[in-house]
Amino acid sequence: MAIFGKKNKKNDDSVANESPVIEAFSPKKAKAFFDHARTAHESGGYEYAMQCWLSGLRWDPTSMHGLNAFLSSSEVYALEKPKKGVSKETKNAIATKGDVGKYINTLLDFGLKRLDIGNAIKVTSAAAKIHLKEPTMMLGEHALKLVQNDSKQKKDMYVKLLDSFELVGAFKLAAIAGESACRLDPTDGEIQLRVRNMLAQSTMTSGGYDSDEEGGFRKNIRDADKQQELAEHDSIAKSDSTKDSIVITTEAAHIARPDDLPSMEAYAKALLERGKGADELKAMTLYSKSYKRSGEFRYRKYAGEIQVMRAKRTLAKIEARAQADPTDEEMQTKFLKANAQFEKMSIDELKLQVKNYPTDLALKYKLGKIFFGKGEYQESIEQFQTAQNDPKLRREVQTLIGKAFRNLGGWEDAAITSFEQAFNGISDETSDLGMDIRYGLMDALQAKATKDMDIASAERADKLAAGMAIQQFNFRDVRDRREQIKSLISEIKG
């Protein structure tokens, strides 16, 4: 079954002397390599096991067993030899041309450094290119998590993952990646359109759109005229003429019933979706007037969000000009001033929302993160201490409280308590969040031990450092920290 190229006529039945150019799909030959790999892994020959797993995957890239087993061998190898990499002989042994070869090579890089965002995105893209749905989803979810936890997230990271997920039909994951890209750049209408498409595809796939069975999606759509109206107002991709038509229709309804709030909302929404000329300003005015007339804060919220969105676009233009010519001191000053004004506007707007929605803990969490990012730790703690009452946010918020107390200085006990609360009951201590909490707790214990010469805190910190090093040897500076803690223990014991 030759799906990756032409069938090789030479050495067709040989395993040991296969050409490094993958030329046929053969689970039988893959299994032979996998058997060698299993034996090598069990005897502690992890590099050779990796070579065999990858050689088998050349013949059967769809094998999830081969993929997971390779990752297991590479994990152990990376812990034992974190800086060595693999030998030239191993690289030559797995060398393969074409798209399958690229997948195998990027998989090797990823296996050795799976916390590297670039490696994770590359292997996901390579898997998607040869339409490996299950591997793409597994590797892509890992990459998505790395990007989401990165302090320097970039839109293009999410877009690459969106592309990969879309290519293999993983529409739900594609929508998640796309929504994250939109949060970083709310002005990108093309990405917003793709996200809507992915959400629609996900809904149709999970909802049985094409099913003829009773309960299928089409069964729910009976009125063709009503469906046409819905399609025009809520379609994923509206044409410019359709948008104009909706604006005209909703404007007429608003003029006919100027005090009817739903009519106003429909008109304002249509203006924002069209986005021509002064449409945003018109929508903002409509919301502001409705707020004054009705007293409903949500209309003030909508108006404020439009203002912040417009200000963000203006700031982006100023920033681009400042970056284009770093020697232009006037433009650099203008950017700094504009950035400060934008930050103040954003914070003031969020404070107003928090005040008017006191039970919305997600808003408090969002405001707390902004304060935390600005180094205003006392203010962030005030917001976080309320936000931690949300079960979905609790663990992450308690972690941030611990970090805030630690950064304040002199609050080591409070930081330790917060990290302990965050860690209590965690299901996977080796997850990104689990490792982050353990590192924070270790750091706070080390600080307390240094300050108070407390042997109990030092020994707890040492135990945490050792545990993290065993699981992820290259995690942050944990190896250096353990050396520091060991020296501290010796100093305390005298």
For residue 152, being part of any structural domain is answered with yes
**Rounded distance, CA 159 to CA 154, Å?**
9
For residue 98, being part of any structural domain is answered with yes
User: For residue 93, how many C-alpha atoms fall within 13 Å in the half-sphere facing its CB?
Assistant: 21
Q: Residue 296 gets which letter from DSSP?
A: -
For residue 51, being part of any structural domain is answered with yes
Check: CB of residue 49 under 8 Å from CB of residue 73: yes
Q: Which of 407, 436, 438, 433 is nearest to 420 (CA)?
A: 438
For residue 158, being part of any structural domain is answered with yes
Please list the rounded mean pLDDT of every run of 10 residues in the chain (494 residues): 40 40 69 91 89 92 89 82 82 86 92 89 94 92 87 88 92 89 86 85 59 43 46 52 88 92 91 92 95 90 95 95 94 95 94 87 93 95 92 93 96 96 92 95 96 96 94 91 95 90
With the C-alpha atoms ordered 74, 75, 76, 78, is the resulting torsion angle positive or negative? Answer: positive
**Which residues 6+ apart lie within 8 Å of 249 measured at CB?**
270
Q: How many domains does the chain have?
A: 1
Q: Over the stretch 20-42, which tens digit does the pLDDT of each residue have?
A: 333 457 888 889 999 999 998 88
In this structure, what CATH number is given to the domain that contains residue 160? 1.25.40.10
**Which residues 6+ apart lie within 8 Å of 127 measured at CB?**
61, 103, 135, 136, 139, 140, 164, 168
**Rounded distance, CA 286 to CA 265, Å?**
8
Amino acid letter, residue 477 = D
**Rounded distance, CA 22 to CA 6, Å?**
9
For residue 59, being part of any structural domain is answered with yes
Q: Look at residue 165 in the predicted model and tell me its pLDDT.
A: 93
For residue 118, being part of any structural domain is answered with yes
Assigned token pair, 368: 């707390």
Q: Look at residue 158 in the predicted model and tell me its pLDDT.
A: 93
For residue 412, being part of any structural domain is answered with no
Q: Look at residue 5 in the predicted model and tell me its pLDDT.
A: 41
For residue 294, being part of any structural domain is answered with no
Domain that holds residue 176: 27-205
